[in-house]
Amino acid sequence: MPFATEPPLRHGRAERTAVIWCNLGTPEEPTPAALRRYLAEFLADPRVVEIPRLLWWPILHGVILRVRPAKSAAKYASVWTPEGSPLKVWTEKQAKRLLGHLGERGHAVLVRHAMRYGHPSIASVLDELKAQGATRVLVLSAYPQYSGATTASLIDAVNAWSARQRAVPELRFVNRYHDDPGYIEALARSVRQHWQAHGQAERLVMSFHGVPERTLHLGDPYHCECHKTARLLAQALGLAPERFAVTFQSRFGKAKWLQPYTEPTLVELAGQGVKSVDLICPGFVADCIETLEEIDMEARAAFLQAGGERFAYIPCLNDRPEWIQALGDIAARHLQGWPTAPADEAERAASRERALALGAKD
């Protein structure tokens, strides 16, 4: 394997520390062609679909990529914004807010966002950071709960890039923060503020993205970490066990996934006489198609059609100040031991000005 040619050594050039804020990804536009490209990359990942390639490839290319893109494009179109995909918009804003927050705390680091699938790719962002002199990179995942299908896949992508480099930067990974106090408090505050503005429903449903049940039996900690997040959030809100439910959404295929499933649970609650529910998606830190279309449209309709009277979706953390504070705390903890202070006060001031300028553009 040929390794990347390194630029000439620049003696005396300041070494930089960088943070990459990584999310799952999104198609570039809500069209069948764009969805086909995105799904081809996403569903080809063996971390996402653990089926032998000889069996999976004919299904993926012969059936799924012929049928699903058009259906998925219509769903994406229903939540698309003038700025683009909601996931892209919020991920970019979160990276800019994180840059500003770390700059205010005296950390003169580079901060970029990247997508595991789609653009900007992890490899392209790592190339950019390396060209800017980054010799230390913190990879910060947008997945609070660890899963092989998400977190480990992200690590795979970074390692694949590293395998092609001659000079590999120091790398650190934030694999999970499902029980981080700042993250839990940010979730709790978003719920409390919703209750203050709209009143409290009879039930709070906490919906997490699903994964095949077999991954739990194979040792993936995702299920347990989701339940710990839910338990800590319920404790922070003072909710008794009968006042909340933990469910799993976004099932794909015919295999058994983690249960209970979100939409059937909502239908069941309505059938039991529950008239109002609040729903939050703690595993998503940025609103996306899974929250805005699957939950706030499809799940809402299912609950109301089953006899429910009031359904309230509580938005993701997005760029809430308390979430950016928590994210900054997580990043700062994992940056410990790496030089991040500006070289002098002038550089410190310039760093703050850059951070403020980026924030002002939003």
In the chain, pLDDT over 90 holds for what percent of residues?
88
Which residues neighbour 287 within 8 Å (Cβ) at sequence distance 6 or greater?
Answer: 86, 87, 90, 315, 316, 318
Where residue 10 falls among pLDDT bands split at 50, 70, 90? low
* Enclosing domain of residue 226: 181-314
Pair 227, 202 in one domain: yes
Please tell me whether residues 30 and 173 are part of one structural domain: yes
Domain boundary among 314, 334, 349: 314
Query: Residue for token digits 């977190």?
Result: 151
39/115 same-domain check: yes
| Nearest by Cα to 56 from 45, 70, 71 | 45
Same domain for 62 and 187, yes or no, is: no
The verdict on residue 172 lying in a domain is yes
Query: Is residue 87 domain-resident?
Result: yes
Q: Are residues 25 and 112 in the same domain?
A: yes
Give per-residue pLDDT as tens, 140-162.
999 999 999 999 999 999 999 99
Task: Classify strands 276-280 and 203-209 as parallel, antiparallel or unpaired.
Answer: parallel
- Sheet containing 244-249: which strands, arranged edge to edge? 244-249, 203-209, 276-280, 310-314
- 174 and 202 belong to one structural domain: no
User: Is 194 annotated as belonging to a binding site?
Assistant: no
pLDDT at 346: 40
Sequence-separated (6 or more) residues with CB below 8 Å from residue 113: 20, 21, 22, 23, 91, 92, 94, 95, 120, 125
Do both 76 and 196 map to the same domain?
no
pLDDT for 219-233, tens place per residue?
A: 999 999 999 999 999
Q: Is 290 annotated as a binding residue?
A: yes
Among 199, 285, 252, 202, CA closest to 39: 252
pLDDT of residue 227: 98
Q: Does residue 4 fall inside a structural domain?
A: no
Domain assignment present for 2: no
If asked whether residues 159 and 300 sit together in one domain, one would say no
Please indicate, yes or no, whether residues 238 and 340 belong to a single structural domain of this protein: no
Q: How many domains does the chain have?
A: 2
Q: What is the CATH number for 123? A: 3.40.50.1400
| Same domain for 298 and 332 | no
pTM exceeds 0.85 for this model: yes
Same domain, 127 and 187: no
pLDDT in tens, 294-351: 999 999 999 999 999 999 999 999 999 999 999 999 999 999 999 998 755 445 544 5
Q: What is the pLDDT of residue 2?
A: 80
Same domain, 160 and 102: yes
Q: Specify if 86 maps to a domain.
A: yes
- Provide the greatest CA pair distance for the chain: 72
Q: Report if residue 285 sits inside a domain.
A: yes
**Which residues, at least 6 apart from 312, have a Cβ–Cβ distance to it below 8 Å?**
194, 198, 201, 276, 277, 278, 279
Q: How many angstroms separate the CA atoms of 353 and 104, rounded?
A: 10
| Residue 3 falls inside a structural domain | no
Q: Is residue 41 part of a domain?
A: yes
Dist CA 95 CA 101 (whole Å) = 10
- Three-class DSSP category at 285: coil
Q: Which of 13-22, 68-77, 92-101, 293-302 has the lowest mean pLDDT?
A: 13-22
Q: Summarize pLDDT for 99-136 with one digit per residue, the tens.
A: 999 999 999 999 999 999 999 999 999 999 999 999 99
Mean pLDDT is lowest, of 14-18, 88-92, 231-235, 307-311, for 14-18
Query: What pLDDT is stored for residue 354 in this prediction?
Result: 56
